[in-house]
């Protein structure tokens, strides 16, 4: 049976949806690694379950493209939902229809970056404190410097 353009388009769309679901899965696993323990295990378990589904869907993409596309998008949506639930957005999705527009991976990535932000801020704050402690002169050094300046002024006759 010859392949029509509609069949090719359907297979192409299915493969594109599978790729997007794989990207979302990868971002979900990265998100899990940056979460604290109770949420980490839950996100990891959902990500591994969806990974298995995506592998099955990937095999079926050529044979039943419409069902494969639907299943891949469903997996993306599940991964996005779990990232919103355990990320820092407080249960709100960054974009309501991200999984339909192919942005589930981006949405999960935003969640991951949001989760990492407080720890990054703590690190930067620690470095700033350390740097200011090193570069700020002590009271003795400041007193020595002002004494030297007074002696120089007296010698110049100011």
Whether pTM > 0.95 for this model: the answer is: no
Q: How many domains does the chain fold into?
A: 1
SS3 content of the chain, % helix, strand, coil (to 5): 80, 0, 20
List, for residues 121-148, the tens digit of each pLDDT value: 989 999 999 998 888 888 899 999 999 9
Q: What is the structure's pLDDT at 12?
A: 94
The parent domain of residue 20 ranges over: 5-156
Contact criterion met (CB below 8 Å) for 99 and 76: yes
Give 100's pLDDT tier (boundaries 50, 70, 90).
low
Count of CA atoms in the C-beta half-sphere (13 A) of 114: 16
Cα dihedral 65, 70, 71, 72 sign? positive
Give 119's pLDDT tier (boundaries 50, 70, 90).
confident
Q: What is the structure's pLDDT at 112?
A: 87
Across all residues in the chain, what is the average pLDDT? Answer: 87
Query: 96 pLDDT exceeds 60?
Result: no
Give 99's pLDDT tier (boundaries 50, 70, 90).
very low
% of the chain at pLDDT higher than 70: 89
Query: 43 pLDDT exceeds 70?
Result: yes
Query: 3 pLDDT exceeds 70?
Result: yes
């Amino acid at each position: 049976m010859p392949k029509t353009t509609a069949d090719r388009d359907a297979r192409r769309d299915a493969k594109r949806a599978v790729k997007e679901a794989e990207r979302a899965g990868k971002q979900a696993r990265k998100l899990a690694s940056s979460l604290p323990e109770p949420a980490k295990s839950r996100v990891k378990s959902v990500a591994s379950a969806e990974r298995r589904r995506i592998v099955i869907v990937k095999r079926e993409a050529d044979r039943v493209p419409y069902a494969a596309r639907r299943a891949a998008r469903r997996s993306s949506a599940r991964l996005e939902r779990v990232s919103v639930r355990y990320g820092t957005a407080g249960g709100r999705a960054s974009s309501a229809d991200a999984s339909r527009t192919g942005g589930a991976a981006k949405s999960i990535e935003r969640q991951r970056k949001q989760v990492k932000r407080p720890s990054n801020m703590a690190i930067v704050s620690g470095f700033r404190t350390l740097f200011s402690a090193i570069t700020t002169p002590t009271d003795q050094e400041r007193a020595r410097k002002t004494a030297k300046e007074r002696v120089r002024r007296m010698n110049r006759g100011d």
